[in-house]
Amino acid sequence: MAIKYSELVIEHFKNPHNVGTIDKPDASATEGSPACGDQLTVYLKVNSETQIIEDIKFQSYGCASNIATASIITDLAMGRNIEAAKQITWKQAADELGGLPPIKMHCSVLAVDALRSAIKNWEHKHLGKEIDDSLNKKNIVKELQKVIYGQVGVDIVSLKLLKYIGVDEKNNVLLELAIKKDDPFLDDVKNEINERMEKFPKIASVKISLV
Amino acid sequence: MSSKEVYLDSCKTSRLAPEVLDAMMPYLTEKYWYPGSFTSIGTEIAEVIEEAQETVARSMNAKPEEITFTSGGTDANNIAIQGILQANRERGRHFICSNVSHPSVLAVFQGMEKQGFEGTYISANKDGYLNLDELKAAIRPDTILAAFTHVNHILGTIQDVKAIRNILDQADHKIYLFMDSCEAYTKIPLDVEELGIDSLSISVHKFNGPKGMGILYVKKGTEIVPTQFGITRLYKLKPGAINVPGIVGTAKAVEIAFTNFDQNTRSLRELQKLLYDEIMKRIPDAVLNGPPLEERSPAHLNVTFRYIEGEAIMMMLDFNKIHVETGSACSSKDLRPNYILMNTGRTHEESHGSVRFTLDRFVTKEDIPKTVDALEKTAKELRRRSPLGKKEQ
């Protein structure tokens, strides 16, 4: 079956809003990496008194939906205060674009993730909030909720594909996934998981076994 | 397609030549008969099919009876690979293939592995050439078939078939050589005798012929059993209805490709060089994938545009009515980057930004600057949006 983008995705890809950088941003964050796919950087200018996002820009190394989702989340975040901006979800971003094909849903996740990370960095810098990157099950689940199973466009936690999380005393992580070994999306899911797990500075290794 | 479209994706499928359609038309309308004996209508069609077989056979120095028309390249691959493996299974169950073969060939072997056959997949170097030392090492007493892609569909790399044959002949038993020649046929000279090929497959819609047609060559004396069963009106390996218009169209497409073959391929070579030179001259950070131009098929060019992503490039070109293909993971159905590029040592990033241009007789000199104009604008715009490569640029 043909995969098609909505007219809004095409429009945001053709003429994206808020492309570029901010000179001396108050915060920024980069998510994704060219080593395993797309990359997105979000720059913020936040009014420290009102906590309103006064300017937001992005740069994208990615496909049409990556650029379009970055364009829409920057539109959604612009002029909001950071608490409201944190509430923007990837489903909402996809809906605002008139929907995304399931295989492209991960682009929306990346865009929202970059926005939230930039906000976190701002909170860390300006409000002194700690960034919680400790290696525990709760935080691991949070990260794995961003790993999308491309066939249906839903994350592996909601799909109950994640069966077990183990963390030993040496910070080795064991994940059990209910995905068949010849599943065409297995490579992508593994790549995404490994990329997500890099968020934990203390992690020693990640082992993924299929059950 | 409107004449304003620039179609640089003939390796995926190509435009039906108008002469081919003209040749087919009578056989879709008033000459709808089947081949047969004794009757005027039956013998007329039988003679047309014979002529078509002769035309195809002549183009590759084969005998007409060694040619079978199939319903496509995949069909021909299946008939040959399954048929040879099954016919020779008493001698052995081992085959040799490569990790840069066309997916349609790999799929047949994956199927055969489930039926008790065992494969060794040899690798290729950075330009897509098979590592022949690995081929030598892979040969076993029970090896019965080696099968490779003649011209790589992603890189345009031309395999040294004679060298492959020589290695196989060093074994003290017969190892059949099957070539998927879909991208080689009509683009480079192909002489089955000289190259020592036992069987090969060709897809007709890749060279301006009709879709749903393939050519299977099986050298006389090859041990092969049928894998499809039905009424065998023409060929023991391919039973069922005979696509007479398709056969006529195939013969016409072959005739066109091989009339002035040298001039045709020279024209492709000129277009290829022009496209490459213009890209390199006008677009910074463009990297050629695969072997030097003069070594590869004249119809292929594959370039990575660094710091930007291939699906975005492909879509921007599409907005300009220019049609290409990319090896980007974003554009694949399972989010994996192109395996040929990855298996020839490219990084995910290099595969991500790769664009394949494939040429045929309908591409004109005027199409090249139009394409590079659009590419230059696209690269500039996408790089403006990209966080990568800012220091280098």
Q: Is B281 exposed, middle or buried (0-12, 13-18, 19+ CB in 10 A)?
A: exposed
The pLDDT profile of chain B, 393 residues, written as one tens digit per residue, is 455 899 999 999 999 999 999 999 999 999 999 999 899 999 999 999 999 999 999 999 999 999 999 999 999 999 999 999 999 999 999 999 999 999 999 999 999 999 999 999 999 999 999 999 999 999 999 999 999 999 999 999 999 999 999 999 999 999 999 999 999 999 999 999 999 999 999 999 999 999 999 999 999 999 999 999 999 888 999 999 999 999 999 999 999 999 999 999 999 999 999 999 999 999 999 999 999 999 999 999 999 999 999 999 999 999 999 999 998 888 787 788 889 999 999 998 899 999 999 999 999 999 999 999 999 999 999 999 999 987 544
Q: Do A34 and B333 touch (CB under 8 A)?
A: no
Q: How close A76 gets to chain B, by Cα (Å)?
A: 19
Instruction: Give the separation between CA B390 and CA A181, rounded to whole angstroms.
Output: 39
A-chain residues near B348 (CB < 8 A): 34-37
Domain ranges of chain B: 18-258, 261-385
A-chain residues near B377 (CB < 8 A): none
Angle between helices B367-385 and B261-282 (to 10 degrees): 30
Q: How close A186 gets to chain B, by Cα (Å)?
A: 9
Q: How close B367 gets to chain A, by Cα (Å)?
A: 23
Q: Which residue of A has its CA nearest to B330?
A: A63
Instruction: Give the separation between CA B187 and CA B156, rounded to whole angstroms.
Output: 10
Residues of A that are catalytic: 36, 107
Per the CATH hierarchy, to which homologous superfamily does domain A137-210 belong?
Fe-S cluster assembly (FSCA) (3.30.300.130)
Q: Do A14 and B387 touch (CB under 8 A)?
A: no
Structure tokens of B4?
Answer: 């304003």
Instruction: Give the separation between CA A192 and CA A145, rounded to whole angstroms.
Output: 11
Chain B interface disruption, residue of A61, A74, A191, most B CBs within 10 A: A61
Is B182 annotated as catalytic? no
Q: Do A103 and B308 touch (CB under 8 A)?
A: no
CB pairs under 8 A between A and B: 75
Q: Do B309 and A38 touch (CB under 8 A)?
A: yes
Q: Do A59 and B386 touch (CB under 8 A)?
A: yes
Q: Do A59 and B315 touch (CB under 8 A)?
A: no
Per the CATH hierarchy, to which homologous superfamily does domain B261-385 belong?
Aspartate Aminotransferase, domain 1 (3.90.1150.10)
In this structure, are residues B225 and B86 in contact, taking their beta carbons and an 8 Å threshold?
A: yes
How much is the pTM? 0.92
Q: Which residue of A has its CA nearest to B353?
A: A62
B-chain residues near A38 (CB < 8 A): 309, 330
Domain B18-258 sits in CATH 3.40.1800.10: no
Structure tokens of B41?
Answer: 């209508």
Q: How close B314 gets to chain A, by Cα (Å)?
A: 10
A-chain residues near B386 (CB < 8 A): 59-61
Fold classification of A7-127 (topology level): Sufe protein. Chain: A (3.90.1010)
**Per-residue model confidence as pLDDT tens digits over A51-93:** 999 999 999 999 999 999 999 999 999 999 999 999 999 999 9
**Per-residue model confidence as pLDDT tens digits over A135-189:** 999 999 999 998 989 888 899 999 999 999 999 999 999 999 999 998 989 988 9
Q: Is B292 exposed, middle or buried (0-12, 13-18, 19+ CB in 10 A)?
A: exposed
Picking from B311, B319, B334, the nearest residue to A63 by CB comes out as B311
Q: Do B352 and A37 touch (CB under 8 A)?
A: yes
In this structure, are residues B124 and B130 in contact, taking their beta carbons and an 8 Å threshold?
A: yes
Q: How many CB atoms lie within 10 A of CB A142?
A: 14
Q: How close A89 gets to chain B, by Cα (Å)?
A: 22
Nearest C-alpha neighbor of B180 from the set B208, B161, B155, B205: B161
Residue B45 backbone zone (phi > 0: left; psi -120 to 50: alpha; other: beta): alpha
Identify the pLDDT of residue B28: 97
Three-point CA angle A60, A65, A69, nearest 5°: 70
Picking from B311, B312, B335, the nearest residue to A150 by CB comes out as B335
Domain ranges of chain A: 7-127, 137-210
Residue A106 backbone zone (phi > 0: left; psi -120 to 50: alpha; other: beta): alpha
Which DSSP category does B296 fall into? S
Picking from B331, B349, B385, the nearest residue to A60 by CB comes out as B385
